Structure 1
Amino acid sequence: MLHTIRTRPLPEQPADAVDLLMACHQRIRRFTAAALRLPDAEGAPAAEIAETAVALRRYFTVALPAHAADEDYSVRPRLLDAGAPAELRDALAEVAAQHEAIDAVTAELAADWRRIADAPARLKELSSALGERAARLDVLFGAHLALEERTIFPAARRALPPGAQRQILDEMRARRPALAFEPAERAGRLA
């Protein structure tokens, strides 16, 4: 059975920047799960395979970099400026390094998704490598999201004053004017 992947709008009036970051994490999980399912979608209609490949490529090459910028350029510097303790500084350095590893895997996957979007029949040929890369991405995100949710986001909520959190929200919105704050749209299909 095929089902549609939909992008859901991020909250229009989030309680704070962390709520918006958490909404992004839910999207990351949803699209990573879709990336894991695509290699097994052989036999699905070619148009649906192509549509899913396009949606995955767009999400991981457009929306995900905006989220990483939120963390790297809005949250991280403010936490460091707020006098982050050693444990938090270590966590911030670790997630920055994880962004590099995630970027490398998503670049490989984006090339595969482009090939599949252009020629859905190539899914069979690419499914093994695609599955391995998607599984690697899932492992990377598992550790990455957990560290942020367990350590960094609670620290941001505690340590950053309301004015700084409002600035982060404004910066997040500026990074994705057409991505995150419009009504949900059909993004792709997967088996």
Structure 2
Amino acid sequence: MQKSKPVSYSRTTITELMIPSYANFGGKIHGGILLSLMDKVAYACASKHAGAYVVTVSVDGVNFLQPIEVGELLSLHASVNYVGRSSMVIGIRVVTENVKTGEQKHTNTSYFTMVAKDDNGKPTEVPMLILEDKNDVRRCLEAIKRKQLKEAYKDDFDNEKSLLHLNGEIHLLNNERVIQNITQ
């Protein structure tokens, strides 16, 4: 295994035509189709960097910013933004292009955390990441910050859950669109 690899080594783009069988009843591309394609490009990018089989362990920030239309070309641009010992954060930018007009639109940005596995299915060390320009540095720093915020949120939420008492918090439902139909 190489000790380090530059971001550019594993940068990956997949482009695919959006066809009618990918569409929902509203004529827009299913979110599930997009997630599957994002997982595919994340795998390609991460496995190239790791030189090993990888698995998806989490997905952060899947926001559907604009609908994707049948007939558009969808390009998924992936790069390794951060590496841990066996994990990698893969940043994915999704852009569509109308082939008739050339108009492009940014539809999604997401972050997949992938873990490299050895032949026995155990996590295995990945090469260090060589940051080649200011964008690579920015993306890496953002990944570190996202990781810190995610850990803090998990801790805060776990603490809140342990303090949650049904009778003491029931008032939170008063302004929500719910009907309490509890029989005991």
The question of a shared fold, defined as TM-score above 0.5 by the shorter chain, is answered with no
Q: Which has the higher contact order (CA 8 A, sep 6+)?
A: 1
User: Which structure would you say has the larger Rg?
Assistant: 2
Bigger share in helix: 1
TM superposition score normalised by structure 2: 0.28
Q: Which has the larger strand fraction?
A: 2
TM-score by length of 1: 0.27
